[in-house]
Copies of this chain bind each other. A is one copy, B any other.
């Protein structure tokens, strides 16, 4: 089966947002074994949208659209697709009820224009939206299928996983199963280079690397008649890779580092606290993303200024004078200080130069120390996260936070 991706949105044409939806869908389609030879972006203009839709459907069996499902007058993807298939728009009562419930819950009036979102092409398959008001849908006819998804990435990706993926799998005779190996401390290009032959020789399961700041995820995907048979294909490969990258693997199917950490802490009945300088609260924010993290995390301190490092965390004046705030010693004292004031089992800390200013010859932008402290394990790491580009403050902070979380995970499992 061939598919194309058609993203609708003037903000994409103006370059206001990066089209991560196309990347996401491209990757997902590839993992479903569906070929995709073309992606298009078009604005909220009915004629041009219609033209691009027709061209895409001339080339492919299926088109997946994102965007243009909202309540406003320039959201017209649904209407354009209905017209293409010659379908009337009819009220989808269930959707309207859900939307009313939604507005009641947020205690805001449901303006009239929202009702438009409950109008659907006749006989469409509806995908519920757990994260917003606009549902997605699939329309089929004449051997062609168009799947319409909302534009906001967090709505789109959730809907893809909960609704679209099962829909695509139903139409195929096989199921696709994936497991993910999570690594930290190794670069994507290094993994890709080393595993290149391995990836090329494996067609089922396939192996695809994904990079995110400071981390690499390897997704192993198999296609088989049943989930069990797919798993039988996948696990030997997962174990093989896990063996090769033992030093770097922090989990399989654990989602994020912070999730892996919270799970590990709960299992061991341990608590963690943070003392952050250059990451400025990013680590505590990531830990508290996880529902139920309040059981393992009680307190974090963001000690951005030196006098706060001293007053709140007990970093000594002599450490600041001899080694400076950006040092292994300071990182360790911060981690210990956080433990002291919170009573937690494990303290995590970061101190470094996130840039763009503040770097020197000996302490350049990107130099970060992360540390953990506990009764049974204490360790600091020096990281050099700068690449010499101008605009890398956020990637330095993210990578520093990831490395600190990974070090804490190591402390838990020691």
Q: Which residues of B lie under 8 Å from residue A108 when comparing CB positions?
A: 187, 190
A320 interfacial by beta-carbon distance below 8 Å: no
State in angstroms the CA–CA spacing of A102 and B395 once bound together.
Answer: 15
Q: Which residues of B lie under 8 Å from residue A30 when comparing CB positions?
A: 14-15
Complex contact B387–A102 (CB within 8 A): yes
Complex contact B24–A15 (CB within 8 A): yes
- Among A323-365, those with CB < 8 Å from B are 341-342, 354-357
CB distance from A176 to the nearest CB of B (A): 9
Complex contact A131–B305 (CB within 8 A): no
Complex contact B39–A27 (CB within 8 A): no
A71 interfacial by beta-carbon distance below 8 Å: yes
Q: Which residues of B lie under 8 Å from residue A101 when comparing CB positions?
A: 388
Complex contact A387–B72 (CB within 8 A): no
Chain A contact residue count (CB 8 A cutoff): 109
Given contacts A23-B15, A40-B38, contact A304 B294 (CB under 8 A): yes
A262 interfacial by beta-carbon distance below 8 Å: no
- Among A38-94, those with CB < 8 Å from B are 38-43, 45, 48, 52, 55, 70-73
With both beta carbons as reference points, the residue of chain B lying nearest to A17 in the complex is identified as B23
CB distance from A206 to the nearest CB of B (A): 9
Q: Which residues of B lie under 8 Å from residue A312 when comparing CB positions?
A: 299, 341
A269 interfacial by beta-carbon distance below 8 Å: no
User: In the complex, which of the residues A131, A390, A395 has the most CB atoms of chain B within 10 Å of its own CB atom?
Assistant: A131
Given contacts A11-B210, A284-B280, A386-B105, contact A393 B289 (CB under 8 A): yes
Q: Which of B45, B196, B302 is the one whose CB lies under 8 Å from A274?
A: B302
CB distance from A207 to the nearest CB of B (A): 12
Given contacts A192-B72, A284-B281, contact A22 B25 (CB under 8 A): no
A136 interfacial by beta-carbon distance below 8 Å: no
A270 interfacial by beta-carbon distance below 8 Å: no
Given contacts A287-B280, A391-B158, contact A12 B26 (CB under 8 A): yes
With both beta carbons as reference points, the residue of chain B lying nearest to A219 in the complex is identified as B16
Task: Give the number of times this chain occurs in the complex, counting copies.
Answer: 2
A1 interfacial by beta-carbon distance below 8 Å: no
Q: Which residues of B lie under 8 Å from residue A307 when comparing CB positions?
A: 298
With both beta carbons as reference points, the residue of chain B lying nearest to A186 in the complex is identified as B108
Given contacts A19-B23, A288-B281, A394-B289, contact A38 B28 (CB under 8 A): no
- Among A286-331, those with CB < 8 Å from B are 287-289, 291-294, 297-305, 307-308, 311-312
Complex contact A41–B42 (CB within 8 A): no
Given contacts A19-B18, A301-B301, contact A39 B25 (CB under 8 A): no
With both beta carbons as reference points, the residue of chain B lying nearest to A342 in the complex is identified as B308
Complex contact A39–B41 (CB within 8 A): yes
Complex contact B285–A281 (CB within 8 A): yes
State in angstroms the CA–CA spacing of A42 and B187 once bound together.
Answer: 26
Q: Which residues of B lie under 8 Å from residue A291 when comparing CB positions?
A: 355-357, 393
Q: Which of B25, B36, B114, B158 is the one whose CB lies under 8 Å from A189?
A: B114
A170 interfacial by beta-carbon distance below 8 Å: no
A242 interfacial by beta-carbon distance below 8 Å: no
Complex contact B15–A18 (CB within 8 A): no
State in angstroms the CA–CA spacing of A304 and B287 once bound together.
Answer: 11
A384 interfacial by beta-carbon distance below 8 Å: yes
A130 interfacial by beta-carbon distance below 8 Å: yes
CB distance from A273 to the nearest CB of B (A): 9
Can you report 22 A-B residue pairs in the complex whose CB atoms are below 8 A from each other? A13-B37, A13-B39, A14-B30, A14-B36, A15-B22, A16-B27, A19-B19, A37-B48, A40-B41, A73-B196, A102-B387, A102-B389, A130-B390, A131-B389, A154-B394, A280-B284, A281-B288, A291-B356, A291-B357, A291-B393, A292-B357, A299-B303
